Amino acid sequence: MAEAHLRVFRGTPETPGWFDDFKVPVEEGMVVLDALHWIQGHAAPDLAVRWNCKAAKCGSCSAEVDGRPSLTCKTRLSDFDLAEPITVEPMRAFPLVRDLVTDVSWNYEVNKTIEPFSPPEDVPQEDWRWQQQDVERVQEYRKCIECFLCQDVCHVLRNHETERPFMGPRYLVRVAGLEMHPIDQADRRSYLKDSGGIGYCNITKCCTEVCPEHIKITDNAIIPLKERVADEFFDPLQWAWRKLRGGAPDSAAGTELPMLSRPEAAPAVEVTPPANDADGDPRVPHDATGG
């Protein structure tokens, strides 16, 4: 039977990180999550792995497989050269909890700062009317499964180099779904510019490339939002018109977003692994800071 060689990150924020090597028997159709389950069942019952649906729908099994942010339940072993080791690591943008599990709670704090869907108060829901093309446009944004792979791959969040917060592509997708909803009345453009840090995005499109739901994050969400922000704040005619007409205030303007803290996992120090791996081979030292 064919074997896959998985090299899996192990460690906690308190202990230095390392890689454990495992030889996993491969059956047809196996995905990386199957291999991790085999490891839990046969070699390392204490390996921490987060998963739920095994159907690419809950967004909880996100990790980095051979360096690429991926859903482990959707990543087939047959896509790899089994003669080479397949590395599996936690998402580097977020603080480590243990092994392959990271703390993604920062994302939920950002989500709370977004002005929710705001229909008109004086129009009952049964009287709402909107075009099919508007339904289809908003539907794309609602396919998001909150896997946070786009947040993980985005260099602005991953490198922790900004002094001000950046909400990240997942939440730009959510705001796009609200701003382009024909029934919604709120104006989130000041919020996007000042609190959400939309200007930090330089349209590298890395987020779009990793999205398992194939949401065109940059083309269909971020660029239209950037255009709306630019029209509102940087077009002199719009600026003059806004001064003349006044206009409803952006109710979420000035909202403070939390900063995504740099993972304070194990420091980059000399690593002394606790033991050899399952094959008796030495463990591979690893800098768990993900730097």
Residues 6+ apart with CB under 8 A from 50: 60, 61, 100, 101
Among candidates 208, 201, 219, which has minimal Cα distance to 149? 208
Of 51-59, 75-83, 111-119, 265-273, which part binds ligand FES (CB under 6 A)?
Answer: 51-59
Identify residue 291 by its one-letter amino acid code: G
Query: Is there binding between residue 54 and ligand FES (CB under 6 A)?
Result: yes
CA distances from 71 to 91, 110, 171, 289 (A): 11, 22, 19, 21
Q: Is 63 in the site for ligand FES (CB under 6 A)?
A: no
Of residues 60 and 190, the one with the C-beta less far from ligand FES: 60
β-strand partners of 233: none
Q: How far is the CB of 172 from ligand SF4 (least distance, A)?
A: 7
Q: In the structure encoding, which two tokens stand for residue 24, read together?
A: 């996993």
- Minimal CA–CA distance to 49: which of 85, 16, 91, 21? 91
| Residue 206 binds which entry of ligand SF4, ligand FES, none, CB below 5-8 Å type-dependent | ligand SF4
Question: Which one of ligand FES, ligand SF4, none interacts with residue 51, CB within 5 to 8 A by kind?
Answer: ligand FES
Choice between 48 and 178, CB closer to ligand FES: 48
Q: Examine residue 56 and tell whether it contacts ligand FES (CB under 6 A).
A: yes
**Residue 241 — φ and ψ, nearest 5°?**
-65, -40
The residue type found at 37 is H
Of ligand FES, ligand SF4, none, which one sits near residue 221, judging by CB under 5 to 8 A according to partner kind? none
Q: Indicate whether 76 belongs to the interface with ligand FES (CB under 6 A).
A: no
Q: Which residue number, 58 or 178, has a Cβ lying nearer to ligand FES?
A: 58
Identify which of residues 52 and 272 has a Cβ nearer to ligand FES in the complex.
52
Distance CA 122, CA 52 (A): 41
Contact partner, 102, from ligand FES, ligand SF4, none, Cβ < 5-8 Å per class = none
- Write the CA distances from 17 to 99, 110, 258, integer angstroms: 8, 29, 27
What is the chain's percent helix, strand, coil content, to nearest 5?
Answer: 35, 15, 55
215 binds, among ligand FES, ligand SF4, none (CB under 5 to 8 A by kind): ligand SF4
Q: Establish if 48 lies at the interface with ligand FES (CB under 6 A).
A: no
- List residues near ligand SF4 by CB under 6 A: 144-150, 153-154, 156, 169-170, 173, 201-207, 210-213, 215, 217-218, 222
- Site size for ligand FES, by CB under 6 A? 12
